[in-house]
Amino acid sequence: MKDSSTIILDKAAMNNNWNFLRSYFGNEVIISAVVKGNAYGHDIETYVPLAEACGVNHFSVFNAGEAYSVHKVARPETTIMVMGAMDNEDIQWAIEHDIEFYVFDMQRLEDVAKEATRQNKKAIVHIEAETGMYRTGFDIQQIPELIKKLQQYKENIRFRGLCMHFAGAEHISNFVRLKNQKTIFKKIHNKFKLAGVRPEIVHTCCSAAAIRFPEMRYDMLRI
């Protein structure tokens, strides 16, 4: 049987798209290419080398399996970040290969610290804040304890990023919820700053949020 549809990845078109994104958002912000869902059906192992040829050096995925697919074809200097759940075996592999990943609950933080200590390495983590998405992340009430834990584990945990995810940023009907999310995140961010426990980068925006909320772009965008 013949395929009913075909996806064509054109390097020149991709390069044009990435150049447009850089011109729109500016070169001072990192743009992470989100390639979850097998690069949204475009095939991770095909898409990643093409994107790298267009100057992309940061990729975000949902799970360790996708991270492995990126790692298999990516350049050594390329950064890979896992945004979703991982089991202990995944965490072990991620730390071994300097894969960055989200931490969104205390138990996971404990597991990461334990494994990083065992490997005598620093796990590269992004702390996810829960601001109204109601999926994963640390509530604002948990931040004081979290700060103490990060200070306790500073020899084996590298606080690479502080992040959140906007809930339905593409819909104007979510205006009030999105406004509340921004307020909560800024309060959480401020708690870290006041404690002197600062992430290397801050990132909050997916594609829609990056366009709608320029003030929330911070250091990196997940596009």
Phi and psi angles of residue 191, each rounded to the nearest 5 degrees, phi first? -60, -40
The three-point CA angle 125-128-155 to 5° equals 30
Inter-residue contact 100 to 83 (CB < 8 Å): no
| Sign of the dihedral through C-alpha 13, 33, 223, 160 | negative
Instruction: Collect all residues with Cβ–Cβ distance below 8 Å to 178 and sequence separation of at least 6.
Output: 166, 167, 168, 169, 209, 212, 213
Q: Can you give the pLDDT at residue 7?
A: 86
**199's tokens:** 């992430």
Q: Can you give the pLDDT at residue 6?
A: 84
Q: Can you give the pLDDT at residue 4?
A: 78
Q: Can you give the pLDDT at residue 183?
A: 97
Q: Can you give the pLDDT at residue 173?
A: 85
- Domains defined along the chain, listed by start: 9-18+27-82 (no CATH), 98-216 (3.20.20.10)
CA–CA dist 81, 108 (Å, integer): 16
Instruction: Collect all residues with Cβ–Cβ distance below 8 Å to 69 and sequence separation of at least 6.
Output: 38, 44, 45, 61
Phi and psi angles of residue 155, each rounded to the nearest 5 degrees, phi first? -75, -20
- Return per-residue pLDDT of the chain as tens, 223 residues: 677 788 889 999 999 999 999 999 999 999 999 999 999 999 999 999 999 999 999 999 999 999 999 999 999 999 999 999 899 999 999 999 999 999 999 999 999 999 999 999 999 999 999 999 888 999 999 999 999 999 999 999 999 999 999 988 988 888 899 999 999 999 999 999 999 999 999 999 999 999 999 999 999 999 9
The pTM of the full predicted model, rounded to 2 decimals, is 0.95
Distances (CA, A) of 129 to 65, 103, 111, 164, 165: 24, 9, 19, 5, 8
